[in-house]
Structure 1
Amino acid sequence: MTTHPRSALSGIKVLDLSRVLAGPWCTQMLADLGADVVKVERPLAGDDTRQWGPPFLRDDDGEVTQQASYYTSCNRNKRSITIDMATPGGQQLIRRMAAEADVLVENFKVGGLRQYGLDYESLREINPRLVYCSVTGFGQTGPYAERAGYDLMVQAMSGLMSITGHADGEPGGGPLKVGVAVIDVLTGLYAANAVQAALHARNATGEGQHIDMALLDVAMAIQCNQASGYLASGKAPTRAGNQHPSLTPYQDFPSADGNVLLAIGNDGQFARFCSAVDHPEWSADERFATNRNRVANRQALLDLMTPVMKTRTTGEWVALFEDKAVPCGPINTLADAFEDPQVKARGLRIDLPRWGDAPAPDHVSSIPGVANPIRMSGTPVTYRNASPALGQHTDEVLLEMGFGAEEIARLKAEKIV
């Protein structure tokens, strides 16, 4: 496989033994940055998310296929090879791949790969330079280490759901999960950072290392200001809907035709807001002159603001504040967001071709997706191809490894690949 000559991770080989979201998000990030990522999938079944639908992709004739769009969200720029790692031949094949890899990413249960001789200690013996990243729900140590961990469970256990949603007693009150599997995604991002740091360290030491990533660790870490506030005060924060615990006004308001969001982060912005809505006396009021006082007198301020915010449409408010450096915006649907002129100008929707000829029955030549947000001037993110069909590159990868046509045929006949 050829990669973009100016890609940041060009020449780095990644063996991807992960599935679902956190691990694949990590390896997709590495692939976007130019690494050659080979994804190992189960024969016939593949990654679990290939079946996580609807929605499913449509083929070139507009017919619904058997591949869920979930899979395509986190597996672009990769090659797919099918290997049955439960067989001795499959284990030997993966060990041979690991011997030549720079990075291995896996998200099996703790100890799950040891029985196959594919754990870090075993593979380090054949490739001391290997950066081996394990992604689990609760990490390699601790009383929960052997538990399976899922994003929703970890959102609940970490306290994130206790600060997400409307307060008890309000309409729709109660704990809520975030609308996407945010812990999985952020664990993938942390893992990609860790992998690149380990590769940099390897340049100095010549040795790889084991990276232990846990969803629970990430969920605790990303609560940043809320967690720090609890540790400083001893008081656990509670749900406050779209309000900010340390800023006001920083929330949504009903407008004449829907809802509008204000994100006022300092006293200057508040003063400009007050002037624009013809209530300069609010910013002069001692109760509201500083953010600290506004938070202390939050309800009194909201009682004044809410009727005023209902007097104009969302679009009118956005237009009014646009040249006044007052952060204000609509609450879009995804459909609205993809039609937003800024989103279009930044090219955040991408349509990628399938990598060569996908095997039947998956005749999908182009797959839509969301662009990588990283913009680098010298070594830009590259988009080579959309997510692969199951096992699409099995022959290609085996040929690169030195297997001949007869050997590949034997591996297939023995159901190793």
Structure 2
Amino acid sequence: MPDSHIDPRDATTATLPLAGIVVLDLTLARAGPTCVRHLADWGAEVIRIEPPAFNDGLGGAREGYDFQNLHRNKRSIALDLKTEDGKAAFFKLAAKADVLVENMRVRVKHRLGIAPEQVHAVNPRLIYASISGFGQTGPYSERAGVDQIAQGMGGMMTITGEPGRGPMRAGIPFVDLTAGNLLALAVMVALWERQKTGKGRWVHTSLLEAMVFMLDLQAARYLMDGEIPGQAGNDHPVNIPMGAFDTADKPVNIAASSPKMWAQFAEAVGHPEWLEVEEWKTAKGRSADRKRLNAAITEVFKQKPSDHWIDLLERIGIPCGPINKVDQVFADPQVQHLRMAMPMKHPDRGDTHLVSSAINIEGIESEVRRIPPRLGEHSAEILKSVGYTDDDVARLRGLGVINAE
């Protein structure tokens, strides 16, 4: 017999690393679902708890690309947590769960009566995982937060873009994604600790913390040396030559900033005399004279197409590569080899693809075992798994507590 938490229609789940881990997913938008997606992809049984008639607005609809990409490998129960019956059903699920993930505004979980202390009272082994905009406590804890707000408050927009052009956001919601990734890591750390202690933890992060964490070298540059970074466009903030350069057909990125690579680079592109320019003999000097050095490199690079320079620099071990549009990314032979477009058979969309996990575990392939669920698709079977009868399910459906197909 399969584990009671494993879908018998999905034999592959039982062999995955997180098989047997039950996750209650109360997330919306992107940061929280990003965390849960990691857990779902590697075999956790994820029960997505949504309000009846819920649509969180991503992708325009449940069939939209965003919802489909975020919510694969899950089941859905549509449950009204604002009712006593709904809350009772939630606590029955929580009593048997291993992990709960939520990214509500801080006050909401307390208002609903499902805060960490209340859930731990019925299941002290549960890992309660939270993402907020600015932290669970502190002067901004009650504020709503989204990715771009965190990019601005966390310094990112003042170090992105070309000098003098004003603040610029990154082209992806990387703060949401980073917060989700970090919370997934925190969940795994807490699950490992539970192996030794038998007790759960409340683990949490926020968009602001994730953003400041991702400043990384730019933050350390300020904290240790007192330098306030500015915008550097496509150039690396401190290393040179490292950035984007025009060629005869399209730009390329190069990274030749170490003393050895700089010498190899100058020789390879046919300008060994660059090594004798006094201002360019040190990294600090090259950085100070960045505009003139970049112009000299661009003048040379424009004489031949991008493939010429990529092939030349690759032969001598200098990192380089094309600057691709998204369609070119997925046409790239290495991206295809890495299977970053994960196939999915969808009842409405037919044969399509989602973005694959970037985590590789030898001997296991990341795949779509369950297409993203319809709202309340599994309400009845989930409730029956914790002791509800057909009559109970019918009663709750009649009261509007659940939306069950």
From 71, 82, 89, give the equivalent of 1:86: 82
The answer for the alignment partner of 2:155 in structure 1 is 159
- How far has the Cα of 1:229 moved from its partner? 0.6
- 2:16 is the alignment partner of 1:20: no
From 203, 206, 212, give the equivalent of 2:204: 212
Q: Distance in 2 between the 1:80 and 1:321 partners?
A: 51
- How far has the Cα of 1:309 moved from its partner? 1.3
The answer for the alignment partner of 2:308 in structure 1 is 316
1:76-98 CA-partner distances (Å, limit 9, x unpaired): 11111111112111111111111
Q: Distance in 1 between the 2:280 and 2:375 partners?
A: 59
The CA RMSD over aligned residues, in Å, is 1.7
Query: Is 1:42–1:82's contact at 8 Å kept on the other side of the alignment?
Result: yes
Query: Is 1:351–1:367's contact at 8 Å kept on the other side of the alignment?
Result: yes
Query: Is 1:79–1:393's contact at 8 Å kept on the other side of the alignment?
Result: yes
Paired amino acid for 1:147? R
- 2:381 is the alignment partner of 1:396: yes
From 22, 35, 41, give the equivalent of 1:32: 41
Q: Distance in 1 between the 2:350 and 2:192 partners?
A: 37
- 2:180 is the alignment partner of 1:180: no
The answer for the alignment partner of 2:319 in structure 1 is 327
Q: Distance in 2 between the 1:176 and 1:219 partners?
A: 15
TM-score by length of 2: 0.92
- 2:66 is the alignment partner of 1:70: yes
- How far has the Cα of 1:149 moved from its partner? 0.6
Give every structure 1 segment of 4 or more consecutive aligned residues whose post-TM-superposition deviation is greater than 6 Å: none
From 104, 107, 113, give the equivalent of 1:117: 113
Does 68-77 or 282-291 show the bigger shift? 282-291
- How far has the Cα of 1:31 moved from its partner? 0.9
From 293, 298, 302, give the equivalent of 1:301: 293
Query: Is 1:8–1:380's contact at 8 Å kept on the other side of the alignment?
Result: no
- How far has the Cα of 1:397 moved from its partner? 1.5
Alignment length (residue pairs): 393
The unaligned stretches of length 5 or more in structure 2 are 1-5
From 365, 368, 373, give the equivalent of 1:383: 368
TM-score by length of 1: 0.90
Query: Is 2:343–2:368's contact at 8 Å kept on the other side of the alignment?
Result: no
Q: Distance in 2 between the 1:365 and 1:47 partners?
A: 24
Q: Distance in 2 between the 1:188 and 1:405 partners?
A: 37
Query: Is 1:353–1:385's contact at 8 Å kept on the other side of the alignment?
Result: no
- How far has the Cα of 1:33 moved from its partner? 1.6
Paired amino acid for 2:133? G
The structure with the greater share of residues assigned to helix is 2
1:243-294 CA-partner distances (Å, limit 9, x unpaired): 1111011111111112121122422222222122111222344432343332
Q: Distance in 1 between the 2:278 and 2:363 partners?
A: 51
Does 200-209 or 404-413 show the bigger shift? 404-413
The answer for the alignment partner of 1:136 in structure 2 is 132
- How far has the Cα of 1:236 moved from its partner? 1.2
The answer for the alignment partner of 1:60 in structure 2 is none
Q: Distance in 2 between the 1:31 and 1:413 partners?
A: 31
- 2:83 is the alignment partner of 1:98: no
Alignment of 1:177-326 (within 5 A): 177-326=169-318
Paired amino acid for 2:236? H
1:104-150 CA-partner distances (Å, limit 9, x unpaired): 00111112122222111111110000100111001111100000111
Query: Is 1:6–1:380's contact at 8 Å kept on the other side of the alignment?
Result: no
Query: Is 2:40–2:74's contact at 8 Å kept on the other side of the alignment?
Result: yes
Does 186-195 or 106-115 show the bigger shift? 106-115
Does 84-93 or 284-293 show the bigger shift? 284-293
1:192-251 CA-partner distances (Å, limit 9, x unpaired): 000000011111111101112111011101100001111123231111111111101111
Q: Distance in 2 between the 1:182 and 1:72 partners?
A: 19
Q: Distance in 1 between the 2:81 and 2:52 partners?
A: 10
Query: Is 1:260–1:314's contact at 8 Å kept on the other side of the alignment?
Result: yes
Does 133-142 or 309-318 show the bigger shift? 309-318
**Partner-residue secondary structure (3-state), 1:67:** coil
- How far has the Cα of 1:381 moved from its partner? 3.9
Percent identity of equivalent pairs:
37
- How far has the Cα of 1:348 moved from its partner? 1.0
- How far has the Cα of 1:365 moved from its partner? 4.7
Q: Distance in 1 between the 2:263 and 2:376 partners?
A: 60
**Partner-residue secondary structure (3-state), 1:219:** helix
From 30, 53, 58, give the equivalent of 1:44: 53
- How far has the Cα of 1:5 moved from its partner? 3.2
